[in-house]
C-alpha cells in the first residue's frame, strides 16, 4: 500500500517521507518484522523502535514525539493509534462484512457455525490484526470494532419452541427436531438471533453444537472443588463475564431460590463450605488458584 494512501485513510500525518513510498505488511512486534513492513510503535520503548529499524521496516506509525532514527524510511504520526487502525480495518472491509456481537452471541454463533466461509475474530486486536483485514466476512466480539460493524437487520422469522427447561439446560423444538441445549432458556432469544443471522448470511450451522465457553460457563465440582464430569455432582461454578454478572445473578435468585449461592467478584471474597452454586467473574485459573490450590482435574471428563 502507498504510504500516502495509508496516511489519508487513517487521518495520520507523514512527518518524514524518506526514500519509501509504500509498504507490504503491518507488524506490531519489532523483533518479528519482515522487510518492507509498516511497524506500529505503541510503546515508549525506544529499544523496540531501534530494533524495528534494524530489521528493515519501511515505515513507522507512532503517537508521541520520538527520534527519527532513519531518515530513509517513512515516519507517520497519529493522534490515536487505535482509531487509526480501526479506520484502516474499516477501509479493508469495504467489500466484506464485519459484524460485532456481544460475548454471549459470539459464544453461541461460533459454536454452531460449521461453515468455513467466515472468520471469527477475538482477543487482543494487535494480535489478531491480520485476521481483521483479510477479504473474508468476519464476526467479532472485539469492542473496539463495534463502531465499524455492519448493521444487522435480520429478515428471517426463526421459530423455536421451548419444550422443557431446567436451571442450566433447555430442550427446544426447531424445525420438528428436538435439541437438548446446555444453556439457560433466557439465552434462547440470543440463539434465535444467531440462527437468523447465519441464515441471512447464507452460512451453514448445527444447533446440536451449541455451547457457552466464555459466558455462563458451568463447571461441576465435588466438595473439594475437584472438577467433575458435567452434571455429575450437585455443585457447580458458573463463570460469567462482568457485564452479564447482574442479569445472571437475578436469574439464579429467581429460579434457584432453594440454593445456597455464593457471588464472587474478587479473589478476596469468601467461599462458603455448603454452597450449591458459585457465580463468579474470575476466570477458571484465577478461581481455582484462589480457592483450591490442590484442585485435581479428572482428565478426559472436562475440557478447559
Name the band, by pLDDT with cuts 50, 70 and 90, for residue 168: very high
190-194, 249-253, 291-295: the lowest-pLDDT one = 291-295
The residues, ordered by sequence, that sit 6+ positions from 176 with a Cβ below 8 Å of its Cβ are none
Angstrom distance (rounded) from CA 209 to CA 34: 40
- Bridging pattern class, strands 161-165 and 170-174: antiparallel
0.75 exceeded by pTM: yes
Closest CA to 70 of 51, 46, 53, 52: 53
Mean pLDDT of the chain: 92
State the pLDDT at residue 300: 39
How much is the pLDDT for 262? 97
Burial of 167: CB neighbours in 10 Å, binned 0-12, 13-18, 19+: middle
Task: Find all residues with CB under 8 Å of 252, minimum gap 6, and list them.
Answer: 167, 238, 259, 261, 277, 279
For residue 273, the model assigns a pLDDT of 86
Q: Is the pLDDT of residue 298 over 50?
A: no
* CATH 3.40.1390.10 residue spans of the chain: 3-86
Distance CA 154, CA 200 (A): 7
Query: What is the pLDDT at residue 258?
Result: 95
**Which whole number is the average pLDDT over 120-140?**
94
Give the Cα separation of 295 and 271 in Å (integer): 15
Side-chain-side CA neighbours of 182 within 13 Å: the count stands at 18
Cell 464472587 -> residue: 264
DSSP letter assigned to residue 175: T
| CATH architecture under which domain 3-86 falls | 3-Layer(aba) Sandwich (3.40)
Q: pLDDT tens across 82-91, in order?
A: 999 999 999 9
pLDDT (0 to 100) of residue 152: 79
pLDDT in tens, 153-165: 766 689 999 999 9
Does 303 score more than 60 pLDDT?
no
Cell triple for residue 81? 493509534
pLDDT at 77 over 60: yes
SS3 state of residue 288: helix
Q: Is the dihedral of CA 81, 82, 85, 91 positive or negative?
A: negative
Evaluate whether 60 touches 38 at the Cβ level (below 8 Å): yes
* Residue 297 in this model has a pLDDT that exceeds 80: no
38-60 pLDDT per residue, tens: 999 987 778 999 999 999 999 99
| The pLDDT of residue 293 is above 70 | no
Amino acid at each position: 500500500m502507498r504510504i500516502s494512501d495509508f496516511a489519508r485513510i487513517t487521518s495520520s500525518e507523514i512527518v518524514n517521507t524518506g526514500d519509501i513510498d509504500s509498504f507490504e505488511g503491518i507488524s506490531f512486534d519489532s523483533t518479528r518484522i519482515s522487510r518492507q513492513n509498516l511497524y506500529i510503535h505503541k510503546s515508549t520503548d525506544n529499544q523496540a523502535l531501534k530494533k524495528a529499524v534494524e530489521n528493515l521496516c519501511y515505515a513507522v506509525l507512532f503517537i508521541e514525539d520520538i527520534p527519527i532514527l532513519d531518515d530513509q524510511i517513512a515516519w507517520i504520526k497519529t493522534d490515536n493509534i487505535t482509531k487509526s487502525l480501526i479506520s484502516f480495518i474499516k477501509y479493508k472491509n469495504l467489500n466484506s462484512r464485519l459484524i460485532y456481537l456481544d460475548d454471549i452471541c459470539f459464544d453461541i454463533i461460533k459454536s454452531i457455525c460449521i461453515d468455513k466461509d467466515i472468520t471469527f475474530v477475538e482477543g487482543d486486536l494487535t494480535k489478531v490484526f491480520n485476521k481483521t483485514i483479510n477479504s473474508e466476512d468476519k464476526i467479532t466480539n472485539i469492542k473496539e470494532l463495534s463502531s465499524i460493524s455492519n448493521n444487522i437487520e435480520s429478515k428471517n422469522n426463526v421459530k423455536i419452541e421451548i419444550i422443557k427447561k431446567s436451571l442450566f439446560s433447555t430442550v427446544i423444538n426447531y424445525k420438528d427436531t428436538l435439541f437438548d441445549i446446555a444453556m439457560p432458556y433466557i439465552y434462547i432469544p440470543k440463539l434465535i438471533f444467531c440462527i437468523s443471522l447465519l441464515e441471512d448470511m447464507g452460512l451453514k450451522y448445527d444447533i446440536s453444537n451449541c455451547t457457552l465457553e466464555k459466558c455462563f460457563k458451568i463447571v461441576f465440582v465435588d466438595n473439594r472443588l475437584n472438577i467433575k464430569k458435567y452434571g455429575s455432582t450437585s455443585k457447580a461454578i458458573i463463570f460469567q463475564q462482568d457485564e452479564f454478572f447482574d442479569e445472571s445473578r437475578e436469574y439464579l435468585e429467581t429460579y434457584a431460590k432453594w440454593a445456597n449461592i455464593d457471588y464472587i467478584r474478587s479473589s478476596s471474597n469468601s467461599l462458603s463450605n455448603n454452597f450449591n452454586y458459585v457465580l463468579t467473574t474470575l476466570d477458571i485459573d484465577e478461581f481455582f488458584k484462589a480457592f483450591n490450590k490442590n484442585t485435581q482435574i479428572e482428565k478426559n471428563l472436562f475440557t478447559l
